[in-house]
Amino acid sequence: MEPHSSKTLVVSILVSLSLSLAPCLALASTSCKFPAIFNFGDSNSDTGGLSAVFGQARSPHGESYFHHPAGRYCDGRLVIDFIANSLGLPFLSAYLDSVGSNFSHGANFATAGSTIRPQNTTLRQSGFSPISLDVQYNEFYDFHPRSQVARNRGGVFKQLMPKTQDFSRALYTFDIGQNDLTAGLFLNMSTTQVKAYVPDVLNQFKNIVKYIYSQGGRYFWIHNTGPIGCLPYVLDRLPVLAAQVDNAGCAIPYNKVAQFFNRGLKQAVVQLRKDLPLAAITYVDVYSAKYSLISQPEKHGFKEPVRACCGHGGKYNYNLHIGCGGKAKVHGKVKLVGKACQDPSLWVNWDGVHYTQAANKRVFDQIVDGSFSDPPIPLKRACHRQQAH
């Protein structure tokens, strides 16, 4: 074949390929217009579930945005709030909250203290919620048909419930796993012992995603777990040797457990993509986004990366028995001792366990454009299936 003919053939093939791919690329560049969000998780995304069951998160929670407690363990908004807002949706009502809730644009099944794998303890014994991920799925499974029965009654019920088609067009978000790791660590398990049960935890996670898929869910946005070794409630309760602390002040062994979990979660997502061919599943590396705030606080506008803004005493301003908003007797009088810092916007950590609103906003700003996602797809285009890395 002549050189000129070869070049012509190559050009023709490239043109044909570009024309055949054009519709796919155009489709992938369009926004998805999710009509609803259904969220599953723990306190990192709980907008009022645990508060509705076990009592409202007390003041000063909510002070920076809502100006009163709003069911969130934070001084203001969570990452899930910023996700909803960016998609043009209202804040998610907690499924368990019977007062003033509106489920027309989705529901939040997350509760603080939740785990993927059910815990054999009560909330008061261990601090972990009985509303594990399987229970959250059962709530969703019940909500799906019953919401349509209510909607068909018309009137106000029609206004407060999602449309039938919204369940297949909604974004299903997950942020859970942190408590599965700390549950073992707080029982004095070694990091090796905790890692040993992670595969079982992830198998249970995969099952829930499959169940939701069987209910019509197609678009999944899955956060991995954050650097637990940087959190005051872990650093205070599970001290490590100086040689085991990194330059950011975080406990290396516990962060390695989180990284181990995240590698397994990413593999689980890869398998889910094979098992669920019609699903678009985005894995989001929240760990790296959060660790960036702690290891490079000045870059993100923070001054306090590890200590808790709202708390009482100790190296990390954290006390297991006197938390944020906690009171104690001082000279015979009950006084508020778990006070908030003067400017939470300069602190990464809010209460020893959770992030401040400012930190949540910075995490959201980092992940919304797909920079920390696999595949690297922006939030607004998470309904499009693309080749993962």
Q: Which residues are catalytic?
A: 43, 351, 354
What is Dmax (Cα atoms) for the chain? 99
Tokens 């799906």 correspond to what residue? 144
The half-sphere exposure of 47 on its side-chain side, counting CA atoms within 13 A, is 30
From CA 217, how far away is CA 170, in angstroms rounded? Answer: 7
How far from chain centre, in Å, is Cα 246?
Answer: 25
Strands (E), 185-270: 219-223
Strand 373-374 relative to strand 280-284, pairing: antiparallel
Length of the chain: 389
| Residue 385, CA atoms < 13 Å, CB-side half-sphere | 10
How many C-beta neighbours within 10 Å does residue 23 have? 9
Q: Is the peptide bond prior to 199 cis by the omega test (within 30 degrees of 0)?
A: no
Is the peptide bond prior to 60 cis by the omega test (within 30 degrees of 0)?
yes
Kindly report the number of other CB atoms within 10 A of residue 158's CB atom: 13
Lookup: tokens for 154:
């018309």
Question: How does 374-384 read in b/e, with b if 16+ C-beta sit within 10 Å?
Answer: bbebbbbbbbb
> Cα–Cα distance between 282 and 117 in angstroms, integer?
22
- Using CB atoms within 10 Å of the CB of residue 331, give its burial: 0 to 12 exposed, 13 to 18 middle, 19+ buried: exposed
For 320, the token pair is 């297991």
Contact status, residue 315 vs residue 39, Cβ threshold 8 Å:
no
